[in-house]
Chains A and B, each alone.
Chain A
């Protein structure tokens, strides 16, 4: 079971058993975005509320494995109260941590991912040091289990879409 300890760290199991920010928010005003992992049938619904450039509240719902659920819980704790810019940086850093391995496997959708490849993007250059991820670094072990990377990134991709929609002012009809 040695290999599994890298995957199922205590922090991950804790967030799986006692998820933070699980639930729903009224939409509108919150953005409600659904994410699916067609490979395993997992689904996540992220509710993100943005006010004056800040993520004022976030909840997630849906069903999934311990990795997807704990990642959603860790994500919600990490971005709540942060500016949208900080949240986007965190998404980029987290996905870089997950996709370094994907790129090595030739499985990267972006193709140009490297440990600091997105630092050239300009003004919004993210912090790319995984040390800055705090508790989220517990998910680093997932990269050793390539099939599970999509479980870990599901809620993050869904949040990114929610932030895009919030900034574009898309509000779904109630």
Chain B
């Protein structure tokens, strides 16, 4: 299952004998062509990776090379190109599975369009076979709409009941009432890291309690898998959803990982080519895992790019990436506190242990849209809005925040530019 074409171009800044602690993060920007761009006369300071990350040259090269030398449809042809495409596609599946510690990546890693589709897949198949009127799904107040609306749709369609784990004053999940909330619950669907607050949830603890209560557990890992070492067994989830484009891969591809016995028992998701074993006038037989859930021509080049992204992340090491982001988050917290004091509020847990590098900001009474507009003038890319988490925004009592999110290619100079630009907004809206 080797993939030499892709591996050759991984991580030019890495020494081949490097271990994670040897990584020179200050050089990583050079691997990402888009970070060499200027906007309004300033270099791009990209602080929106929680929405979508950028890609290194190795990912672009892998996809380009695939299209220039290899492309054919997968799972169909006997000719060399098709056989190579097939091998690359399945190698990417194994690489992605390895990154999350999947015990059986060949069967348990389902390629989807994105994390949203992965959650919808569970809602459309597992939930439709297992949940009926009055059955309870437990969510949290810090979910992304992707992990709310599919369950609201099932509530409308078949009368399932939704419960919600609240948050405390320091933006953590409030687990004080967890056992009562879990009573009678069939499914717990919970984020591993909030896309607004940066909160890293105590997922393993929740999963353990949920399993004791007889519930199945889904993890929305869209925010944590790109930033924090992930092992599905240690996490204790039954399903894990995440997207490639937040972890240096292309758009248009995501993953549902599921425990094999659950996936085996689930009916298919979309119907079409590739997901069948046999089709007759009066019925069909579904294919085996993982193809049972992959109808139609899949995102093959995207899978190849995703594999290259995983290789790049592994060459640096998720432990090192996490350590870098912890340091940078601490730096941002201290710079912002020093320069703006009480004028600037960060919606998220204090410290760096229970949070990732997602900084949702409120600066004086400057509207987040206006703040983001002024920051753009300085080349700083932040997201302003409700971040697809309206129930959480209501809980926070705001319509919107301006969110700066950090990744491996960010450094202290990015934070300094951010702080300078916030100060400019302060002058304009004085």
Chain A residues close to B by CB (< 8 Å):
1, 3-4, 7-8, 13, 39-43, 63-67, 145, 148, 151
Most chain A Cβ neighbours within 10 Å, of B40, B374, B400: B400
- Cβ contact within 8 Å between B40 and A3: yes
- Cβ contact within 8 Å between B373 and A4: yes
Closest CB in chain A relative to B39 CB, distance in Å = 11
Q: B130 near A: Cβ within 8 Å?
A: no
Known: A1-B377, A66-B367. A41 touches B400 (CB 8 A): yes
- Cβ contact within 8 Å between A1 and B428: yes
- Cβ contact within 8 Å between B373 and A41: no
Q: List 19 A-B contacts (CB under 8 A).
A: A1-B374, A1-B377, A3-B40, A8-B370, A39-B385, A40-B368, A40-B386, A40-B399, A41-B385, A41-B390, A41-B400, A42-B399, A64-B369, A65-B368, A65-B370, A66-B367, A66-B370, A66-B429, A151-B369
- Cβ contact within 8 Å between A4 and B400: no
Complex Cα–Cα for A64 and B428 (A): 17
- Cβ contact within 8 Å between B399 and A3: no
Closest 4 A/B residue pairs (Cβ)? A65-B369, A65-B367, A41-B386, A41-B399
Complex Cα–Cα for A151 and B385 (A): 13
Chain B residues in 8 Å Cβ range of A151: 369
Complex Cα–Cα for A4 and B374 (A): 7
Known: A41-B399, A63-B399. A4 touches B428 (CB 8 A): yes
Chain A residues in 8 Å Cβ range of B81: none
- Cβ contact within 8 Å between A7 and B385: no
- Cβ contact within 8 Å between A40 and B377: no
Chain A residues in 8 Å Cβ range of B335: none
Complex Cα–Cα for A145 and B390 (A): 25
Chain A residues in 8 Å Cβ range of B200: none
Query: What's the tally of chain B residues with a CB closer than 8 Å to chain A?
Result: 18
Chain B contacts with A in 373-400, Cβ cutoff 8 A: 373-374, 377, 384-386, 390, 393, 399-400
Complex Cα–Cα for A148 and B374 (A): 13
Chain B residues in 8 Å Cβ range of A40: 368-369, 384-386, 399-400
Beyond A40-B368, A64-B399, 12 additional contacts (C-beta under 8 Å) are A4-B373, A4-B377, A8-B428, A40-B369, A40-B384, A41-B386, A41-B393, A42-B399, A42-B400, A64-B367, A66-B429, A67-B370
- Smallest CB gap from A4: residue in B: B377
Other-chain residue from B40, B373, B400, B424 in contact with A7 (beta carbon distance below 8 A)? B373
- Smallest CB gap from A42: residue in B: B399
Complex Cα–Cα for A79 and B386 (A): 32
Chain A residues in 8 Å Cβ range of B393: 41
- Cβ contact within 8 Å between A1 and B384: no
Chain B residues in 8 Å Cβ range of A64: 367, 369, 399
Closest CB in chain B relative to A112 CB, distance in Å = 29
Most chain A Cβ neighbours within 10 Å, of B369, B385, B429: B369
- Smallest CB gap from A8: residue in B: B428
Closest CB in chain B relative to A51 CB, distance in Å = 33
Chain B contacts with A in 33-66, Cβ cutoff 8 A: 40
Chain B residues in 8 Å Cβ range of A42: 369, 399-400
- Cβ contact within 8 Å between B424 and A145: no
Closest CB in chain A relative to B369 CB, distance in Å = 4
Chain B residues in 8 Å Cβ range of A65: 367-370
Closest CB in chain A relative to B145 CB, distance in Å = 11
Closest CB in chain A relative to B375 CB, distance in Å = 11
Chain B residues in 8 Å Cβ range of A1: 374, 377, 424, 428
